[in-house]
Amino acid sequence: MPTLSEIKKSFLVSLWFMFLTFPIMVIRVNTTEKLVLWRWENMLYIGIGSFLLSFVWRYLLWRKETGKKDTESGGTEAPPFFQRILSDRRYAIPAFVVGIVFVVIFPFVMNTYQTNIMITALMYVVLGLGLNIVVGLAGLLDLGYVAFYAVGAYTYGLLNHHFGLGFWIVLPMGAFMGAFFGLLLGFPVLRLRGDYLAIVTLGFGEIIRLILENWNEFSFGPSGIAQISRPSLFGIQLSLSNSIVYLYFVMIGMVLFTIFVVNRLQNSRIGRAWIALREDEVACQAMGIDKTRTKLTAFALGATWAGMVGVIFAAKTTFINPASFTFLESAMILAIVVLGGMGSIVGVAIAAMILILLPEYLRAFSEFRMLIFGAIMVLMMVFRPQGIVANVRRSYKFQPDKHP
Amino acid sequence: METILEVNNLTMDFGGLRALDNLNIDIRKGEIVALIGPNGAGKTTFFNCITGIYSPTNGDIMISSPKAAGAQKRERINGLKPNQVTEKGMARTFQNIRLFPSMTVLENVMIGRHCRTHSGVAGAIFRNRAMVREEQSVVDDSYRILEKIGLARYVNDQAKNLPYGAQRRLEIARALATEPFLILLDEPAAGMNPQETLELDALITRIRDEEGISILLIEHDMKLVMSLSDRIFVMDYGKKIAQGTPEEIRNNPVVIKAYLGEEIDA
């Protein structure tokens, strides 16, 4: 692979980079002392750096290409790392136990700040799994997912403010409201797909936010709703730190519940219909699947989770205003789904953890956060477009002779 | 023989273009019928009209499902959605293969079972006994269909990794899974080598003989058409220009003219 032509290519790349960065990296004009500083050593660094980078880059691409050829020419694809781990009992059981112990003792060992971050991350796991139904399984690009999150949060905020309803009563109502708004969005966009769908859903997200921002009588406008009550444990109000621990366990339960339901949905008749819809809409309909119904269930069931997490969000922060529900949130959740791997539950959970926890722990590098974020995204698109954990189709067990 | 599909005066306009012009076609039970004609004659448009993808400008599409009984027997299906047409018992394949590429072969066929099964969201989440049984029967039925079509060895492969001929057959398998009384095949032999075409010929005949399913196919491979079909309809410029047995069609001057053009020797 490291032939002369490759070296030549990298050399040309580094020359080009040196030329491009010449004005900013080499020349420095000091206007107060009327001096021009020529920093030639910077050019050298750029040259060497870009030479090496381009070399490594093309080496990785080459490896990816040859790897693909190997699997195509008969070699069976090794099962993904996580499945290998999980399928082996020797590793699975200890890993499972360690996981449970970690999850249980986490809020007691870590301080409230850490627990709070973890709650946020878990919330995004559920949001990611919810959006995964719409985007990953049914293939409907939804850029306004945060709207349902807002609907859930405001459901709790308003009902708590006006009627003093508690968390546990509103949680199912939030789910219901999410589903209802999912249908509300679903109906007008039934005929759209691809880019057009993305634009309309984006608009929908903005509409909800703008309504919340401007309809002062209803939603208290930008000043938001404050002093929303935290969840109570069988009617007992908890202290601040206890209630955070409590919320943490509520969230853990929520994540497990979501994984359970989404997994079952995915492997059902309805899940298959969603995937078929994603793969080919015309064929899907010609095979007898009701497109309208399938799309609407996807929108409604996806939005349900956002509605529930919205309620939890309102209970966690005790204050909500429209600024929490901007397009950036939608983009973040979408990034989680895409980075994790469309349709893959484990992948989405991991991606949510990475994308939410990493920025928190990298506060020291907060100036470079977006840079790192962008770089990771670009690298993922090039080297693992299928996401962290590619969704593997399951194989079924059949007994063809049993049903004559 | 009873008629199962009857198309009367079917007309389809796209703006100013008349793609189908007063078409009359009928198919009887247990028949293999071919629809032929030069490129652009409107054959695929005809398929799209009767399967609900287009809604025809004029005319009637009547079906009499052999499975239905009594008053419902004869039905007009204009304007029904594609999935409703499939539910009535007409399944189709596509000219340019339209499988679900990243689903497995078995799952592709399982999708075909969708309209014959009923479990919903609640069933999926709670996995009650009826749902589990239904799911298992979907898997088993689908596998049996694959065995019949000769695709059992690909069962867990992704559809996109199948060889071309197998993909074509998988489309037929998927259509069979919807329990149709009539299968519409849009150029099933396109791109196949002679050996594969021969196998396809046998497969189509077998489907008709064993399942009693009628078949309407669009095809350009004249050898296949002549050997397979009981009757042939010929279309040109949206009109039906001839119909009859393969023997009649072979010697029909109008058909020859449509395919080869007029001789200029006078």
Tens-digit pLDDT profile for residues B58-99: 888 988 887 765 555 788 888 889 999 998 889 999 989 999
Nearest CA in chain A to B161: A72
Alpha carbon of residue A14 to chain centroid? 36
Q: Are residues B235 and B261 in the same domain?
A: yes
B104 to chain A, closest Cα gap in Å: 7
Alpha carbon of residue A15 to chain centroid? 39
Q: Are residues B188 and B81 in the same domain?
A: yes
Q: Distance between CA atoms of A389 and A350, rounded to whole angstroms?
A: 9
Q: Distance between CA atoms of A125 and A115, rounded to whole angstroms?
A: 15
Nearest CA in chain A to B116: A288
Who wins on pLDDT, A327 or A383? A327
Q: Are residues B44 and B123 in the same domain?
A: no
Domains of chain B: total: 2
What confidence tier does A146 reach under pLDDT thresholds 50, 70, 90?
very high
Nearest CA in chain B to A72: B161
Mean pLDDT of B104-122: 89
Question: Among B198, B104, B111, which residue's Cα sits nearest to residue B153?
Answer: B104
Beta carbons of A269 and B135 less than 8 Å apart = yes
Q: Are residues A245 and A289 in the same domain?
A: yes
Q: Are residues A141 and A25 in the same domain?
A: no
Angle at A364 between CA A313 and CA A338, to 5 degrees: 50
Q: Are residues A205 and A313 in the same domain?
A: yes
Q: In chain A, which residues have their Cβ closer than 8 Å to the Cβ of B119?
A: 268-269
pLDDT at A235 over 80: no
Q: In chain A, which residues have their Cβ closer than 8 Å to the Cβ of B47?
A: none
B263 burial (CB, 10 Å; 0-12 / 13-18 / 19+) is: exposed
Beta carbons of A286 and B92 less than 8 Å apart = yes
A173 burial (CB, 10 Å; 0-12 / 13-18 / 19+) is: middle
If one counts every other C-beta atom within 10 angstroms of the C-beta of residue A140, the result is 24
Q: Which of B140, B141, B162, B171 should be substituted to probe chain A, the one whose Cβ sees the most A Cβ atoms within 10 Å?
A: B140
The reply to whether A402 falls in a domain is no
pLDDT at A73 over 80: no
Beta carbons of A400 and B144 less than 8 Å apart = yes
What confidence tier does B265 reach under pLDDT thresholds 50, 70, 90?
low
A123 burial (CB, 10 Å; 0-12 / 13-18 / 19+) is: buried
Beta carbons of B125 and A395 less than 8 Å apart = no
The reply to whether A55 falls in a domain is yes
Q: Are residues A256 and A349 in the same domain?
A: yes
Q: Are residues A8 and A50 in the same domain?
A: yes
Q: In chain B, which residues have their Cβ closer than 8 Å to the Cβ of A289?
A: 83, 111, 114-115
End-to-end, the C-alpha distance of chain B in Å comes to 45
Nearest CA in chain A to B137: A403
pLDDT at A10 over 90: no
Q: Which of B100, B115, B133, B183 should be substituted to probe chain A, the one whose Cβ sees the most A Cβ atoms within 10 Å?
A: B100
Q: Are residues B164 and B119 in the same domain?
A: yes
pLDDT in tens, A269-320: 999 999 999 999 999 999 999 999 999 999 999 999 999 999 999 999 999 9
Output the CA torsion sign for A108, A111, A116, A118. negative
Q: Are residues B137 and B184 in the same domain?
A: no
pLDDT at A82 over 70: no
The reply to whether A111 falls in a domain is yes
Which H, E and C letters describe chain A, residue by residue? CCCHHHHHHHHHHHHHHHHHHHHHHHEEEECCCCEEEECHHHHHHHHHHHHHHHHHHHHHHHHHHHHHHHHHCCCCCCCCHHHHHHHCHHHHHHHHHHHHHHHHHHHHHCCHHHHHHHHHHHHHHHHHHHHHHHHHHCCCCCCCCHHHHHHHHHHHHHHHHHHCCCHHHHHHHHHHHHHHHHHHHHCCCCCCCHHHHHHHHHHHHHHHHHHHHHCHHHHCHHHCECCCCCCCECCECCCHHHHHHHHHHHHHHHHHHHHHHHHHHHCCHHHHHHHHHHHCHHHHHHCCCCHHHHHHHHHHHHHHHHHHHHHHHHHHHCCECHHHHCHHHHHHHHHHHHHHCCCCHHHHHHHHHHHHHHHHHCHHHHHHHHHHHHHHHHHHHHHCCCCCCCCCCCCCCCCCCCCC
Q: Which of A269, A279, A282 lies closest to B114 in CB terms?
A: A269
Q: Are residues B85 and B191 in the same domain?
A: yes
Q: In chain B, which residues have their Cβ closer than 8 Å to the Cβ of A285?
A: 81-83
Nearest CA in chain A to B82: A286
Question: Among B92, B91, B97, B93, which residue's Cα sits nearest to residue B167?
Answer: B97
Beta carbons of B53 and A282 less than 8 Å apart = yes
Nearest CA in chain A to B96: A283
pLDDT at A230 over 90: no
Which pLDDT does position A91 carry in this prediction? 76
The reply to whether B109 falls in a domain is yes
What confidence tier does B127 reach under pLDDT thresholds 50, 70, 90?
confident
What confidence tier does A2 reach under pLDDT thresholds 50, 70, 90?
low
Q: What residues of chain A have any CB closer than 8 angstroms to a CB in chain B?
A: 261, 264-265, 268-273, 275-276, 279-280, 282-291, 297, 301, 393, 395-400, 402-403
B113 to chain A, closest Cα gap in Å: 8
B255 to chain A, closest Cα gap in Å: 32
Residue B238, domain extent: 1-89+180-266
Which pLDDT does position A74 carry in this prediction? 43
Give percent above pLDDT 70 in chain B.
Answer: 96
Q: Are residues A129 and A195 in the same domain?
A: yes
Q: Are residues B187 and B73 in the same domain?
A: yes
The reply to whether A392 falls in a domain is no
Residues in chain B: 266
The reply to whether A394 falls in a domain is no
Q: Are residues B8 and B67 in the same domain?
A: yes
Domains of chain A: total: 2
pLDDT at A239 over 90: no
Radius of gyration of chain B (CA): 19
Q: Distance between CA atoms of A324 and A108, rounded to whole angstroms?
A: 29
Which pLDDT does position A24 carry in this prediction? 86
Residue at which a domain ends, from B178, B197, B215: B178
Residue A304, domain extent: 91-383
β-pair partners for B215: B32, B183
Q: Which of A264, A265, A400 lies closest to B147 in CB terms?
A: A400
A250 to chain B, closest Cα gap in Å: 21
Q: Distance between CA atoms of A247 and A249, rounded to whole angstroms?
A: 5
The reply to whether A297 falls in a domain is yes
Alpha carbon of residue B162 to chain centroid? 21
State the residue for tokens 């025809």: B56
Nearest CA in chain B to A285: B83
Q: Are residues A59 and A122 in the same domain?
A: no
Q: Which of A279, A286, A396 lies closest to B51 in CB terms?
A: A286
A342 to chain B, closest Cα gap in Å: 12
Beta carbons of B82 and A286 less than 8 Å apart = yes
Q: Are residues A45 and A102 in the same domain?
A: no
pLDDT in tens, A323-378: 999 998 899 999 899 888 888 888 899 899 888 888 888 777 778 777 877 888 78
Q: Are residues B167 and B189 in the same domain?
A: no
If one counts every other C-beta atom within 10 angstroms of the C-beta of residue A24, the result is 9
Q: Distance between CA atoms of B117 and A270, rounded to whole angstroms?
A: 11
Question: Among B65, B96, B88, B80, which residue's Cα sits nearest to residue B171?
Answer: B96
Q: Which of B83, B120, B140 lies closest to A285 in CB terms?
A: B83
pLDDT in tens, A20-61: 888 888 888 888 888 888 888 888 888 899 888 888 888 888
Which pLDDT does position A262 carry in this prediction? 92
Q: With the CA atoms of B54, B62, B111 and B186 taken in that order, what torsion angle do they form, in degrees rounded to the nearest 10?
A: -60
Q: What is chain A's mean pLDDT, rounded?
A: 85
State the amino acid at position B162 in one-letter form.
Answer: L
CATH number of the structural domain spanning residue B265: 3.40.50.300
Question: Among B56, B97, B92, B96, which residue's Cα sits nearest to residue B216?
Answer: B92
Q: Are residues B12 and B74 in the same domain?
A: yes
Whole-model pTM over 0.80: yes
Q: Distance between CA atoms of B119 and A269, rounded to whole angstroms?
A: 7
pLDDT in tens, A154-191: 999 999 999 988 889 999 999 999 999 999 999 888 88
Nearest CA in chain B to A273: B111
Q: Distance between CA atoms of B174 and B152, rounded to whole angstroms?
A: 13
Beta carbons of A270 and B120 less than 8 Å apart = yes
The reply to whether B70 falls in a domain is yes
Which pLDDT does position B68 carry in this prediction? 64
Q: Are residues A371 and A298 in the same domain?
A: yes
Longest dimension (CA), chain A: 94
pLDDT at A124 over 90: yes
Beta carbons of B103 and A396 less than 8 Å apart = no
Q: Which of B101, B147, B174 lies closest to A287 in CB terms?
A: B174
CATH number of the structural domain spanning residue A228: 1.10.3470
Instruction: For residue B135, give Cα distances in angstroms to A262, B140, B157.
Output: 17, 9, 20
Q: In chain A, which residues have their Cβ closer than 8 Å to the Cβ of B80?
A: none
Instruction: For residue A74, give Cα distances in angstroms to A77, A270, A294, A370, B121.
Output: 9, 33, 36, 41, 39
Residue at which a domain ends, from B121, B152, B178: B178
Q: Are residues B184 and B263 in the same domain?
A: yes
Residues in Cβ contact with B86 at an 8 Å cutoff, skipping those fewer than 6 apart: A286, A287, A288, B51, B115, B178, B180
Q: In chain A, which residues have their Cβ closer than 8 Å to the Cβ of B115?
A: 287-289
Which pLDDT does position A107 carry in this prediction? 84
pLDDT at A105 over 90: no
Q: Which of A256, A269, A289 should be substituted to probe chain B, the one whose Cβ sees the most B Cβ atoms within 10 Å?
A: A269
Q: Are residues B199 and B174 in the same domain?
A: no
Q: Which of B104, B124, B143 lies closest to A269 in CB terms?
A: B124
A354 burial (CB, 10 Å; 0-12 / 13-18 / 19+) is: middle
How does B32-64 read in b/e, with b if 16+ C-beta sit within 10 Å? bbbbbbeeebbbbbbbbbbbbbbebeebebbbb
Q: Distance between CA atoms of B136 and A131, rounded to whole angstroms?
A: 29
Which pLDDT does position A77 carry in this prediction? 47
Question: Among B104, B212, B213, which residue's Cα sits nearest to residue B160?
Answer: B104
The reply to whether B94 falls in a domain is no
Beta carbons of B114 and A398 less than 8 Å apart = no
Nearest CA in chain B to A399: B140
Q: Are residues A123 and A34 in the same domain?
A: no
Instruction: For residue B35, give Cα distances in angstroms to B169, B228, B229.
Output: 20, 12, 10
Which pLDDT does position A76 carry in this prediction? 44
pLDDT in tens, B147-165: 999 898 898 888 999 998 8
The reply to whether B213 falls in a domain is yes
A74 to chain B, closest Cα gap in Å: 11
Beta carbons of B83 and A290 less than 8 Å apart = yes
State the amino acid at position A352 in one-letter form.
Answer: A
Q: Which of A282, A284, A398 should be substituted to probe chain B, the one whose Cβ sees the most B Cβ atoms within 10 Å?
A: A398
State the amino acid at position A181 in one-letter form.
Answer: F
Residues in Cβ contact with B223 at an 8 Å cutoff, skipping those fewer than 6 apart: B197
pLDDT at B1 over 70: no
Residue at which a domain ends, from B178, B195, B228: B178
Beta carbons of B82 and A264 less than 8 Å apart = no
Q: Are residues A147 and A34 in the same domain?
A: no
Q: Are residues A66 and A98 in the same domain?
A: no
